[in-house]
């Protein structure tokens, strides 16, 4: 058997992701995005526009993640809802992301940035039925969590990418140029990224460089 392909996606969403889990003669990290229509599956030429097109300005807990699926940059909306818990053990519900990584981000936010979420229920969702696997989504998740907790909406024209270490530091990730180029194509104007990210030449994107989660919390507080 040379190639194994499968579709993934929640049946409640109209989008389906085509992945290769085995490919003898090519990569397995590329994807195809399709939409269920009345006539069957239809290819989506620009999936970023579909995944972030329905966003509403002024909504706390929503952040745009500039991700990579293989060699394809893809803008995705990360949604977070933080609410006071009435349970002895607060709920942690995750759709489209790693639940263990969410637990890590919550612990680092509390230990390194003084943001306590241990008495709150936390719900996290990647819109459109996408499943995010790369650590570069850490910064977008943290921003969405802080935004929901404080009730402060993030700029609707901003995107986020960066990995968070256990020390609370925000680390640069690869392929920044492709991520920024896709964001610019989608009309985004700001990029919130790790300090020391290798920026491409002639990038027209306004950048906010963060050293750690404390800087992220401070930046969000200025948006109020």
Which CATH code is given to the segment(s) 48-221?
A: 3.30.230.10
- Nearest alpha carbon to residue 48 among 153, 184, 174: 184
- Nearest alpha carbon to residue 178 among 191, 165, 194, 196: 191
**Which residues of the chain have a pLDDT value below 70?**
9-14, 28-31, 45, 47, 50-51, 53-55
Encode pLDDT of 138-181 as tens digits: 999 999 999 999 999 999 999 999 999 999 999 999 999 999 99
CA distance 52 to 63: 10
pLDDT of residue 142: 98
Q: Where do the domains of the chain lie?
A: 3-45, 48-221
pLDDT of residue 159: 96
CA distance 175 to 65: 14
CA distance 163 to 25: 31
Decide if 82 contacts 124 (C-beta within 8 A).
no
Instruction: Give Cα 208 to chain centroid, integer Å.
Output: 17
pLDDT of residue 222: 93
CA distance 134 to 37: 29
pTM for the structure as a whole: 0.84
């Amino acid at each position: 058997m040379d190639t194994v392909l499968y579709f993934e996606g929640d049946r409640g969403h109209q989008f389906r992701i085509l992945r290769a889990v085995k490919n003898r003669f090519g990569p397995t990290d590329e994807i195809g995005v399709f939409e269920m229509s009345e006539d069957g599956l239809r290819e989506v030429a620009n999936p970023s526009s579909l995944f972030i097109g329905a966003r509403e300005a002024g909504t706390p807990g929503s952040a745009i993640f500039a991700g990579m699926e293989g060699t394809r940059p893809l803008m995705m909306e990360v949604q977070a809802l933080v609410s006071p818990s009435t349970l002895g053990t607060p709920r942690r519900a995750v759709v489209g992301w790693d639940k263990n990584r969410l637990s890590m981000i919550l612990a680092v936010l509390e230990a390194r940035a003084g943001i306590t979420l241990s008495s709150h229920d936390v719900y996290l969702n990647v819109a459109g039925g996408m499943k995010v696997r790369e650590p570069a989504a850490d910064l977008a998740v943290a921003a969405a969590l802080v935004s929901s907790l404080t009730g402060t909406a993030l700029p609707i024209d901003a995107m986020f990418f960066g990995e968070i270490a256990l020390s609370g530091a925000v680390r640069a990730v690869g392929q920044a140029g492709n991520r920024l180029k896709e964001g610019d194509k989608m009309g985004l104007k700001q990029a919130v990224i790790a300090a020391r990210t290798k920026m491409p030449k002639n990038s027209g994107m306004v950048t906010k460089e963060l050293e750690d989660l404390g800087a992220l919390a401070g930046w969000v507080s200025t948006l109020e």
